[in-house]
Structure 1
Amino acid sequence: MTGFKKFLMRGNLVELAVAVVIGATFSGLVQALVKDLITPLIAAVTGGNEPDFSDYVFTVNGAKFMYGDFVNQLLSFLIIASVVYWLVVLPMSRVVAYFDRNKESTEKKCPECLSDIPVAARRCAFCTAVLEDSGATAAS
């Protein structure tokens, strides 16, 4: 039971749970935005009488194809994906690039295995190749 408690209290698991709850709430918010504001706006611009796309349907040989709900879900997906990209992915990639820029001054590539090793290293910790001061590899 102690191991299970430790597993539940790990930081990554708690952060993941919080992210799932916020994501689900955000998804509901975006779906309401699409259903209540964006689709009526599109219907008003295109001259449609129906303010909600979920009722749009076409029939072929008696089979009903309900494409309106798909349009609502597609709009929700596009909005969520764009918000995640612009507010999470793009800023995080800039932060990672900033820290990687400083990393280059403290590490170099091993000429044998191409692993990142400290600049002052005389032997690679991964492939054990002996490194010369110029960065060339000596026989091990």
Structure 2
Amino acid sequence: MSMKKEPSVLKGFRTFLMRGNVVDLAVAVVIGTAFTNIVNSVVKGIINPLVGSIGTTNLDNYKTCLSSSCQGSKGIQLLWGSVLGATLSFVITAAVVYFLMVLPMSKYLARQEARRQAREGTHEVIEVTELEVLKEIRDALVAQRGSGPGER
């Protein structure tokens, strides 16, 4: 009587980690983190100074005081500059991802689909043409058989 050996937890964990989905996800997280650093640098180095040309160079300095007096960190302050900076970072990230990754991939996949449909379309034409040729051969054989000496 032999009992089936259960895989060890570590082997199962290793199998889980080596699946393509987990590795792809890990790569995406690492690239996303590096990409976020680039976008943040663009916002701080280019966007903030451009916006700062009409005010301050640091968007974090834009705020509104809701209380009667705001001195330093005292009072009730809305830090809308931080929200604006984060929003700009998001919009830039989304635009770069869309225009450099999503749009080209969509066009590539559309071209692949068009090629696949074209290949399937040519197969159908070939099959129809072959079918027509076979019908002609059959008709010719029937006609030949009918005109031969052993006519029934």
Q: Please, what TM-score do these two structures have when normalized by structure 1?
A: 0.68
1:93 corresponds to 2:106: yes
Q: Which residue of 2 aligns with 1:60?
A: 66
AA aligned to 1:76 is S
Which residue of the partner structure matches residue 26 of structure 2? 17
Aligned residues: 108
Q: Which has the larger radius of gyration?
A: 2
Q: Which runs of 5+ in 2 are unaligned?
A: 1-9, 68-74, 125-130, 132-152
Partner SS, residue 77 of structure 2: strand
Following TM superposition, the consecutive aligned residue runs of length 4 or more in structure 1 with deviations greater than 3 angstroms are 105-108
Q: CA deviation at 1:94?
A: 0.9
13, 16, 20: which one aligns with 1:7? 16
Greater helix proportion: 2
Identity %: 41
CA deviations over 1:48-106 (Å, ceiling 9, x no partner):
2x210112110123521000111110111111001000111011101111111123246
Provide the aligned C-alpha RMSD in A: 2.2
Q: Distance in 2 between matches of 1:90 and 1:64?
A: 41
Q: 2:94 & 2:79 partners in 1: Cα distance?
A: 24
More strand, by proportion: 1
